[in-house]
Amino acid sequence: MNRVRAPTLVPQRKKQKGVHLTSSPRSYEIKFCELVIFIMERKMGVTRRRFLMELARRKGFRVANELSDSVTHIVAENNSCGEVLQWLRGQKVRDSSRFELLDISWFTACMEAGKPVDSEIKHRLIVQQDCSATSETCVSEASSFAADRVSQYACQRRTTLNNYNKKFTDAFEILAENFEFRENKLGCLEFLRAASVLKFLPYPIVKMKNIEGLPCMGDKVKCVIEDIIEEGESSQAKEILNDERYKSFKLFTSVFGVGLKTSEKWYRMGFRTLEEVKAEKTLKLSRMQIAGFLHYEDIVSYVSKAEADAVSLLIKDTVCMFSPEALVTVTGGFRRGKKTGHDVDFLITNPGPKEEKELLHKVVDLWEKQGLLLYCDIIESTFEKEKLPSRRVDALDHFQKCFAILKLHQQRTGNSNSNISKESDKAEVKDWKAIRVDLVISPFEQYAYALLGWTGSRQFERDLRRYASHERKMMLDNHALYDKTKRTFLKAESEEEIFAHLGLDYIEPWERNA
Ligand code: DCT
Ligand code: MG
């Protein structure tokens, strides 16, 4: 397999002789904080490595001298995936899935672009698409992965955001959603489980042999995989994307407050677009749906990490005013390391035995006064002590919570002249974005369970509960873990303790992207 050689912009190893390089790194402004690059010296040599590190730093990248915990991207040259993995094992790295393993061609593309570029398949150190059955290294890399040892439970798999099989999982998710819209739970779950397994695979599927031995690969799933391998896309998914019912449901459910029931009703009434729904003045909309339509454009555009951080500051500041001891934690997708989300989820708890019923009301009242509250629905706690955890894996929890839409003022950046309006120009510039926020209040003794439950992903949560009941005779929900054999509730102060109660290896939040 031929790897793309680095272009001439970067001197090759042999040309290095006589090039003077300072040994101590100079300090440069860091422009790209989100990634930390480590360049492997193996087969590259000290001098070339030093040159590349200096080059990247000069361009604003963070480059680590050592393979530290902060490293996110490992760059290698002339090394196969197997060689890099072997080297990592030698460095006592237990879990290599937390890094992106990349070829020098990715690094070069970044240097040329002057910014991080998305890693494409061709940049990744994995089994390559074009590898033929005669290429021994490729075959051994794919087959050295013990597919038959992959657990059927997502809570026994470390699934990072590094998805090598996006074209398969995207198709599965469309099929699953279509089943959901048609209220076929089993069909939906079958494809969600399959998607979750493929998100875990450390290589892209290029032939049917690559999925041999994997769990959750039923005939329907295999059929879709085969179609994508042969045709490059799924004809079933393509058909669904053109299906009138699917298209309408997809649109309707994108409105905050609109679920399957309302979508079904509107579809039966003959509506196909949001404009048609809005034009029907006799339609009774809930308060949530009115807010959903009002802030539709903002809400459908995803929340960025920077926006989530800004909301997080706002929430921490406000909560702290009323309850200085309170712990405020970002949960959901952002805790799992996602860079975007449809909302921002928060868990709030107060250390100590006292539960503050009023805290959420006080916080929300203040936002109202400050003009920051665009919508809010507080649901009071319905938790009953000693009640057994729910048997249903998709059951909702009983915490006091608030589904809100907050006004997030966008920071004024760049040329301030744009904010100076002429006397005649009375049109106001919108300088804020509506952000969907979920706030959950948990009693301190349930905090670890609430944190585990609200971190997700949903598939990870489903499988944790299924694992607890099928493999351990225990019942788990967002409040507690009950051991049916011992007939006791198991206390936990941390997520690690819950995994230990279940006899599971601890899975970090960023490995729960199942
Ligand atoms: N959750 C829960 N009970 C609910 C809603 C959610 O236990 N009623 C859990 C499951 C996942 C987690 O909380 C966060 O839920 P979402 O915000 O829906 O998902 P996400 O992973 O944060 O994804 P997104 O980026 O779309 O917000
Ligand atoms: Mg979320």
234 upstream amide cis, omega within 30 of 0 = no
Map residue 483 onto helix, strand or coil.
Answer: strand
Highest mean pLDDT among 128-132, 147-151, 458-462: 458-462
Residue 121 has pLDDT above 90, yes or no: no
Residue 468 has pLDDT above 50, yes or no: yes
Catalytic site includes residue 343: yes
**Polymer length of the chain:** 514
Residue 135 has pLDDT above 60, yes or no: no
Ligand 1 atom nearest the C-alpha of 454 is 13
Locate the DSSP E strands across 334-399.
Answer: 340-341, 344-349, 373-379
Q: Considering 170, 227, 377, 438, which one is annotated as catalytic?
A: 438
Ligand 1 atom nearest the C-alpha of 453 is 7
Least confident of 257-261, 398-402, 407-411: 407-411
Residue 192 has pLDDT above 50, yes or no: yes
Looking at residue 94, what is its pLDDT? 75
Burial class (CB in 10 A: 0-12, 13-18, 19+), 26: exposed
Looking at residue 34, what is its pLDDT? 87
**CA gap 492, 481 in Å, rounded:** 9
Q: Average pLDDT, stretch 466-493? A: 97
First to last CA, the chain: 31
Model pLDDT for residues 80-118, shown as the tens digit of each residue: 888 888 888 888 887 787 888 999 999 999 999 999 998
Confidence of residue 137 (pLDDT cuts 50, 70, 90): very low
Model pLDDT for residues 63-88, shown as the tens digit of each residue: 999 998 899 999 999 888 888 888 88
Catalytic site includes residue 463: no
Highest mean pLDDT among 31-45, 80-94, 365-379, 388-402: 365-379
Q: Is 438 annotated as a binding residue?
A: yes
478 Cβ below 6 A of ligand 1: yes
Looking at residue 98, what is its pLDDT? 82
Confidence of residue 392 (pLDDT cuts 50, 70, 90): confident
Confidence of residue 353 (pLDDT cuts 50, 70, 90): low
Q: Is 148 annotated as a binding residue?
A: no
Confidence of residue 415 (pLDDT cuts 50, 70, 90): very low
Confidence of residue 130 (pLDDT cuts 50, 70, 90): very low
Looking at residue 25, what is its pLDDT? 58
163 Cβ below 6 A of ligand 1: no
Catalytic site includes residue 317: no
Domains along the sequence of the chain with CATH: 32-130 (3.40.50.10190), 135-240 (1.10.150.110), 243-294 (1.10.150.20)
Q: Is 103 annotated as a binding residue?
A: no
**CA gap 263, 66 in Å, rounded:** 54
Q: Average pLDDT, stretch 128-149? A: 54
What percent of the chain shows pLDDT beyond 70? 88
Strand partners, 476: 481
Residue 17 has pLDDT above 70, yes or no: no
Mutate to test the pocket of ligand 1, among 458, 460, 461, 477 (most ligand atoms within 8 A of CB): 458
Looking at residue 60, what is its pLDDT? 95
Model pLDDT for residues 432-452, shown as the tens digit of each residue: 999 999 999 999 999 999 999
**CA gap 82, 95 in Å, rounded:** 14
Nearest to 190 by CA among 166, 222, 231, 155: 222
Q: Average pLDDT, stretch 263-269? A: 98
Residue 482 near residue 389 (C-beta atoms within 8 A):
yes
Ligand closest to CA 392: 1
Q: Considering 103, 298, 343, 397, which one is annotated as catalytic?
A: 343
Residue 410 has pLDDT above 80, yes or no: yes
Ligand 1 centroid to Cα of residue 374, in Å, is 21
Looking at residue 131, what is its pLDDT? 37
513 Cβ below 6 A of ligand 1: no
